[in-house]
Chain A
Amino acid sequence: MPHARGETAEYEGKEDGQLTPFVIQDCSLLIRMSGLLPAADLRELRDRIAACSENVLFHHFFETLLRPTFDNPDYRNDFAVWAKLYLDDRVLAERLGILDPYSYASLKELRNVVLGLIDERLKELTLVPRARPGDEFFFQEATTVVFDTGERIRHPRELAPAIRGMTNGSIYYHFLEARRRSPAGMDDFSSWLMGDGKKYERHVHALASIDLLFHSLGHLRADLLRALSNMESLG
């Protein structure tokens, strides 16, 4: 299991027969303009998505949870929201909105799927849908600033109480952002628990079963605690 910083969860000082302590990190998102021109219509959106960096794609699909935006109950990714609200193309919005970005092995694969959906839609339409001036799609990206909280989890029975007290930034970093860092696409909590063989297999499975598509970080915290219930009694 890779342990290098920036690759997966951070563990330190393993003692024989014990899991190494889990290092709780926190993070904060700093959003900036990507430098790409805004897209005013669906074709421009397609061309910009084809050309944008993976960080831009990652931001508009994955980092929306950490951003100050309304907890849109319809769609989690910015492209679907824009198609619905500003292109008034509900068909495309539904097709983009159901995409689960965590289900793709790579951002390249996700990008190809998005482009395929837009190309398909462009073929169906006689007119390219266009947003009003001021309603263009603005491409953003972000830097995730990560810092050590100084806190450690030394035993799996401490995991749920620790999650209860974590910031949204910690939850995002360890459960969502980790999937991009880890070659196996796994969250940090599961990676850590698997370090103790199959003892916590049930909990790892429960963590993997959480449906991420409609979650705010507050809801996600509640689901994590449900998935890890009874762990404290395992000793």
Chain B
Amino acid sequence: MNAPIAAYEGILGSSVVTQLRRLGGKLRGIRVVHVNSTREGGGVAEILDWMTFLMCDLGLDASWEVIHGTQRFFEITKAIHNGLQGKPVTLSKKDWRIYQDVNEQNAENLRASLEAADIVVIHDPQPAYLLKLCPNRKGKWIWRGHIDFSRPFGPVWKMIRSYVEKYDASIFSMSEFAQPLPHPQFLIPPSIDPLSEKNRDIDPAELETVRAEYRLDPERPLLVQVSRFDRFKDPVGVIRAYRMVRKVAPVQLVLAGGGATDDPEGKAVVEEVLEEADKDPDIHVLLLPPDAHKTINALQRLSDIVLQKSTREGFGLTVTEGMWKGKPVIGGDVGGIRLQVVNHHTGFLVNTPEGAAHRIRYLLHHRNRIKEMGEVAREFVRENFLLTRHLRDYLTLFLTIRSGRNERILYV
């Protein structure tokens, strides 16, 4: 259940909401269509859920479409995803043909809506080919890349580039991910919804219920990493860091995540994680359904330290979530985690399991720093990574791109 824009005044103040209403007023009635490849699971689906709702609440005519594909299509797009994040992958001509065919099948259903829209935002590579299939489009088309494109595998980027270069603009989460393209590349970090099931305040009794359900010891420190089971999230590295800490401190570890419908690799990664965990009773590997938002919220709140030891990361919304709950985060020194984790202020950036273990031990020895960093982290998120800022950036982009002007100051 999404909250209307007025509900955010209590957290962010009325001026922030007023600003959004003013921007929305300038765009009243324009038709906006977002397209991605999964309705649930992962940060993009969560963002589109609230963003579409709030754009409508502000007066835009916004909708969210999801493309459908076969198991083989999602295996191919997962390989594309991995390739764009730098992993060498092999994709045959037939694979690319399947990718195009699935886009063509989806275009049959979506074409009328997409061609009529004032703004179309295509999220990630899966539906990127749709632009080519909508020759009579009247609006502006924007491609939004959510992942870490800093070192893409050349052959995969070359093909995806040939699809996205035709767009009117693209959006990346940070400058390090932007690639040379013949159109403006805007920088918009993502955000979290503080009133969603995953981030809202939770009654202490509910926290204790979750603690009991997963048999977590309230007397011992808890480390939590929440993310889908993906090798780039390095869950095995987290277990190795835990083992180094465990030699000197009685910590518990939760690795919690689910799968997304567009990620067929998760099962194999879970097996690797279980093997590494080796039935240690203090390592809790939790396979959660996509709607387990309240459980994830509770686990993050029950933690002493949040981990996100990714080796590649688009932005790392689980970092944002942990920080919003007042936790210091020990995160991989990559991607969007760098935008959020500031050494000694909101957590620590690390490059190895050893580095993670060192910082965990530091925080466990300086418990006051856990609280101090957690408070700074929460305020940092309040100022920068809540959905109101994200929504404002999108509305500002729509105003700019519709104006067709490229001036330093644009009066609307």
Contacts and interface: CB of A to CB of B under 8 A. Distances in A.
Contact of B178 (A71, A138, A145, A169): A138
Interface bin, chain A:
35 or more
A37 B400 CA distance: 24
Interface in A133-190: 133-134, 136, 138, 140-147, 149-150, 165-167, 169, 181
Contacts of B400: 30, 143, 145
Contacts of A136: 176
A140 B23 contact: no
Nearest to A73: B345
B383 to A, nearest CB: 8
Interface residues of B, number: 43
A69 interface: yes
Nearest to B26: A147
B409 A138 contact: no
A55 B408 contact: yes
Interface string B338-352: 010010011000000
Given A33-B185, A138-B175, A167-B18, A145 B384 contact: no
B407 A143 contact: yes
Contact of A31 (B150, B186, B380, B389): B186
Given A138-B178, A146-B411, A68 B389 contact: yes
Contact of B393 (A30, A71, A166): A30
Given A140-B187, A147-B412, A134 B151 contact: yes
B339 A68 contact: yes
B410 A32 contact: no
A224 B393 CA distance: 26
A5 interface: yes
A69 B384 contact: yes
Nearest to A173: B409
A133 B151 CA distance: 10
- Of A32, A55, A218, most buried by chain B (CB within 10 Å of CB) is A32
Contacts of A142: 408
Interface in B1-35: 14-16, 18-19, 22-23, 26
Contacts of A72: 342
A28 B396 contact: yes
B116 to A, nearest CB: 25
Contacts of A55: 408
B399 interface: yes
Contacts of B395: 28
B189 interface: yes
Contacts of B407: 143
Given A28-B392, A145-B412, A167 B384 contact: no
Contacts of A218: 383
Q: Tell me which of A68, A165, A166 has the highest count of chain B C-beta atoms within 10 A of its own C-beta.
A: A68
A136 B175 CA distance: 10
Given A55-B408, A69-B339, A143-B407, A31 B19 contact: no
A86 to B, nearest CB: 11
A68 B388 CA distance: 12
B397 interface: yes
B385 interface: yes
Nearest to B343: A85
B323 to A, nearest CB: 11
B184 interface: yes
B408 A144 contact: yes
A150 B25 CA distance: 12
B221 to A, nearest CB: 26
B118 to A, nearest CB: 17
A69 B340 CA distance: 8
A166 B19 CA distance: 9
A72 B346 CA distance: 12
A134 B342 contact: no
A229 to B, nearest CB: 21
Given A33-B185, A140-B187, A167-B18, A145 B175 contact: no
B397 A30 contact: yes
Given A30-B393, A32-B186, A134-B151, A165 B15 contact: yes
B15 A145 contact: no
Given A68-B389, A147-B412, A165-B15, A30 B186 contact: yes
Contacts of B185: 32-33
Given A28-B396, A166-B15, A6 B389 contact: no
B205 to A, nearest CB: 35
A146 B410 CA distance: 6
Interface string B97-135: 000000000000000000000000000000000000000
Nearest to B384: A68
A132 B107 CA distance: 43
A218 B411 CA distance: 24
Interface in B169-197: 175-176, 178, 184-189
Given A6-B411, A32-B187, A143-B408, A68 B23 contact: no
Contacts of B176: 134, 136, 138
Interface in B367-412: 380, 383-385, 389, 392-393, 395-397, 399-400, 406-412
Contacts of B184: 32-33
A5 B385 contact: no
A146 B175 contact: no
A157 B19 CA distance: 24
18 contacts: A6-B411, A28-B392, A33-B175, A33-B185, A33-B187, A69-B339, A70-B346, A71-B383, A134-B176, A138-B176, A142-B408, A143-B400, A143-B409, A147-B26, A149-B18, A150-B22, A167-B15, A167-B19
- A-B CB proximity, top 4 nearest: A138-B175, A68-B384, A28-B396, A33-B185
Given A68-B339, A144-B408, A167-B18, 12 more contacts: A28-B23, A28-B395, A30-B396, A32-B185, A68-B383, A68-B384, A70-B342, A72-B342, A140-B187, A143-B410, A146-B410, A147-B412
